[in-house]
Amino acid sequence: MKRRIRKVVNFFAFNLLFFALYLNFIHKDKPNVAMTPAPTQAASNTAAISGTVLVANPEKYLDQKATNTATTPAQQTNAANNKAEQTAALKLSIN
């Protein structure tokens, strides 16, 4: 009889544990209502970012990258000098 009671109690404890985990991690509460309501027009104009968006003309953006990466050797040395100055300034600011 004790064995059967122990099995039933363990079963309920195990289910209670998983129910608590469900409530804690998976189930989302309804958001609280703000005390002062936000204007609805401003909320409708701003779109939340949700995932990836397809681009109509990807070639346009790919060509921009290609032209930006094709630089002259003088521009490359200027960029390297700027990078060296930034790292030197960073090292000085940390110490």
- Dump pLDDT digits (tens) for 40-50: 555 455 566 67
pTM, whole model, 2 decimals?
A: 0.29
The stretches in the chain having pLDDT less than 70 are 27, 29-49, 65-73, 90, 92-95
pLDDT score at 94: 61
Question: Which residues does 61 contact at the CB level (< 8 Å), separation at least 6?
Answer: 55
Q: Give the span between the Cα atoms of 22 and 10, in whole angstroms.
A: 18
Question: Is 55 in contact with 61 (CB distance < 8 Å)?
Answer: yes
Tokens of 44: 């409708």
pLDDT score at 62: 80
